[in-house]
């Protein structure tokens, strides 16, 4: 028997109409300016991708030419380049196919990726990528993971590997509320058509970037030019650039042949050193004896890699004897003040350094820790050097001794990057306040960073009548009563932390004059 269609009640009609209106309002919430921004970004990414594709194609053309000229030498790298092309084109074309499907779902069968009409459509990307049984999101997710795992294995530079892996990551961010969504749901669910297309265009750009990095690495392994010389130069290689009075200057004088059209690859300390003329320069910030060690690589006429090691010793000296405080031009009593001491032409282990008005301890390589006895006086550091079998005084240096300045109190909380932020006064999020264990104190003025131990403090709250409600902690930690008071504070409410007592590395207990104002945000 035929099925009798149930008439729709006026109430259900009203509900259906309200749902249509709600969906229209949701669509209108996507700002046209935002959608225009996605279109601009998409066009910029397309330009970048096109440029990268042209550069990559140029490298493939070079491989083809070199394969014809010397197939025995080039074949290994040529075959790897073809694998890179195939896997890169596969993922690139999959992204292009998905872009077309999303736009046609939004604009109809004649939809054009370069001219999207219904940019604000929130259903097209969800349907194409997440529809049960037919959604392509899982296929894209697996394709990206497979490509990333294979392509990073072909990149030799560790920094580039990290960049490529980050660009092609399919991890759902942990710092946003994802409500248990997987990657494809997080990326494409209820995503406007313009935004979804832009995301896929970015993926295509990342693919061409990764492809280019691998191709450059493969291309650097081959070369078809012979080594030849076209210039003879005279060189003087000294055994040392610095000679102490009474010593000997020694140098090797030779003539060397170079090829100005084919510079070798230079490695210093295991890292490639890039220079058009092979000139090495470095800022010498420390005195002493140093050794420049590395090797040079170049292809010979038979296509074999030739490697030659080199080593050059040199000495760095200061213009005169120097003694300096690493932090500033004073010393602090009861504190380990780091010092640097050097004498030109004299190794650090040949120095004799002493101090009056305190203790001086060597930490090696011209580094010392000065520990003055008491503030208000002076500390004198005397430097002597052992040269030519005798000890000669090189100078005396006087420093004023002061008491450590008072620290500033703070509430420490994580900065989200493994470091620490320090709140000292003003507005503070309630969540950060509730998660804080207590307060700290330190001298932290850009030059000094000296921690102090907090012995106790007082929090001052205000009741509804404006009366002060003090709560005391006899340690650096917030008490349970203080935590309960925090919990009851509303946004815009404030309290003060005062009566802070702290002790520094000098063992002196002090009461801080300043107080902290905390405004709950």
- Residue 104: its H or E element: helix 71-107
CA atoms within 13 A on the CB side of 132: 0
Query: Which one of 108-117, 157-166, 216-225, 485-494 scores highest in mean pLDDT?
Result: 485-494
Q: Which positions ≥6 away from 17 have C-beta within 8 Å?
A: none
pLDDT computed for residue 276 by the predictor = 67
Burial class (CB in 10 A: 0-12, 13-18, 19+), 307: exposed
Q: Mean pLDDT, the chain, as a whole number?
A: 81
Total residues found in the chain within this entry: 521
Topology annotation, domain 322-402 = Immunoglobulin-like (2.60.40)
- Residue 234: its H or E element: strand 231-238
pLDDT one-digit tens code per residue, 287-346? 677 788 888 887 764 456 778 887 877 666 554 555 555 556 789 988 888 988 888 778
pTM above 0.85, yes or no: no
**Residue 269 DSSP label:** T
The rounded distance, in Å, linking the Cα atoms of 191 and 122 is 5
CATH number assigned to the domain covering 408-520? 2.60.40
Tokens 């946004």 locate to 491
- Residue 381: its H or E element: strand 378-387
Q: In this model, does residue 498 exceed pLDDT 80? A: yes
Smallest Cα–Cα separation from 201: which of 316, 12, 360, 53? 53
Pair 460, 498: CB distance under 8 Å: yes
Provide the pLDDT confidence category of residue 9 given band limits of 50, 70 and 90: very low
The rounded distance, in Å, linking the Cα atoms of 113 and 39 is 11
The rounded distance, in Å, linking the Cα atoms of 119 and 32 is 9
Better pLDDT: 444 or 356:
356
pLDDT one-digit tens code per residue, 423-471? 999 999 999 999 999 999 998 876 678 899 999 999 999 988 889 999 9
Better pLDDT: 310 or 50:
50
Q: In this model, does residue 244 exceed pLDDT 50? A: no
Smallest Cα–Cα separation from 443: which of 469, 399, 471, 406? 406
Tokens 């101090």 locate to 355
Mean local confidence (pLDDT), 378-385 = 90
- Sorted by where each begins, the domain ranges of the chain are 18-219, 231-316, 322-402, 408-520
Q: What is the dihedral of CA 117, 119, 120, 126, to 10 degrees?
A: 110
The rounded distance, in Å, linking the Cα atoms of 111 and 493 is 56
Q: In this model, does residue 226 exceed pLDDT 60? A: no
Burial class (CB in 10 A: 0-12, 13-18, 19+), 40: exposed
Whole-number percent of the chain with pLDDT over 70: 78
User: Helix 137-152 crosses helix 158-167 at what angle (to 10 degrees)?
Assistant: 180
Asked if domains 322-402 and 408-520 share a fold, the reply is yes
Provide the pLDDT confidence category of residue 408 given band limits of 50, 70 and 90: very high
* β-strands 271-273, 288-299 pairing: unpaired
CA atoms within 13 A on the CB side of 161: 9
Mean local confidence (pLDDT), 255-267 = 69
pLDDT computed for residue 390 by the predictor = 79
- Count Cβ atoms below 10 Å from residue 169 Cβ, excluding itself: 14
pLDDT computed for residue 259 by the predictor = 61
């Amino acid at each position: 028997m035929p099925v009798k269609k149930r008439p729709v009640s006026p109430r259900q009609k009203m509900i259906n109409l309200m749902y249509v209106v709600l969906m229209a309002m949701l669509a209108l919430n996507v700002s046209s300016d935002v959608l225009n921004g996605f279109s601009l970004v998409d066009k910029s990414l397309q330009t970048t991708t096109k440029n990268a594709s042209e550069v990559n194609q140029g490298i493939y053309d070079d491989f083809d030419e070199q394969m014809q000229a010397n197939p025995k030498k080039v074949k290994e790298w040529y075959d790897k380049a073809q694998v890179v092309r195939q896997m890169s084109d596969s993922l690139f074309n999959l992204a292009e196919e998905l872009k077309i499907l999303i736009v046609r779902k939004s604009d109809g069968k004649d939809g054009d990726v370069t001219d999207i009409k219904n940019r604000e459509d929130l259903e097209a990307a969800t349907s194409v990528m997440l529809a049960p049984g037919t959604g392509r999101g899982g296929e894209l997710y697996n394709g990206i993971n497979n490509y990333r795992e294979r392509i990073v294995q072909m990149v030799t530079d560790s920094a580039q590997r990290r960049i490529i892996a980050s660009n092609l990551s399919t991890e759902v961010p942990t710092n946003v509320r994802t409500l248990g969504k997987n990657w494809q749901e997080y990326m494409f669910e209820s995503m406007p058509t313009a935004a979804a297309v832009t995301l896929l265009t970015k993926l295509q750009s990342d693919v061409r970037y990764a492809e280019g990095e691998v191709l450059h690495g493969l291309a650097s392994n081959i070369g078809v030019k012979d080594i030849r010389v076209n210039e003879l130069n005279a060189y003087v290689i000294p055994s040392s650039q610095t000679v102490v009075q009474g010593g000997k200057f020694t140098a090797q004088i030779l003539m060397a042949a170079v090829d100005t059209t084919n510079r070798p690859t230079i490695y210093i300390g295991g890292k490639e050193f890039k220079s058009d003329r092979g000139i090495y320069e470095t800022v010498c910030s420390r005195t002493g004896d140093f050794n420049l060690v590395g090797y040079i690589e170049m292809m010979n006429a038979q296509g074999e890699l030739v490697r030659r090691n080199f080593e050059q010793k040199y000495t760095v000296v200061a213009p005169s004897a120097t003694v300096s405080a690493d932090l500033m031009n004073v010393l602090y009593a009861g504190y380990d003040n780091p010092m640097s001491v050097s004498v030109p032409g004299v190794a650090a282990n040949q120095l004799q350094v002493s101090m009056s008005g305190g203790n001086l301890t060597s930490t090696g390589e011209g580094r010392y820790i000065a520990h003055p006895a008491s503030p208000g006086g002076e500390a004198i550091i005397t430097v002597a050097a052992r040269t030519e079998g005798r000890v000669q005084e090189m100078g005396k240096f006087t420093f004023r001794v002061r008491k450590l300045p008072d620290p500033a109190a703070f509430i420490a909380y994580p900065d989200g990057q493994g470091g620490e932020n320090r709140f000292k006064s003003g507005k503070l999020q309630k969540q950060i306040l509730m998660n804080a264990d207590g307060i700290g104190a330190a001298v932290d003025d850009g030059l000094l960073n000296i921690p102090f131990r907090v012995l106790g403090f007082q929090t001052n709250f205000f009741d509804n009548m404006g009366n002060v409600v003090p709560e005391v902690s006899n340690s650096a930690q917030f008490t349970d009563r203080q935590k309960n008071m925090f919990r009851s504070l509303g946004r815009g409410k404030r309290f003060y932390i005062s009566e802070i007592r702290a002790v520094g590395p000098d063992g002196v207990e002090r009461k801080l004059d300043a107080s902290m104002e905390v405004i709950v945000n």
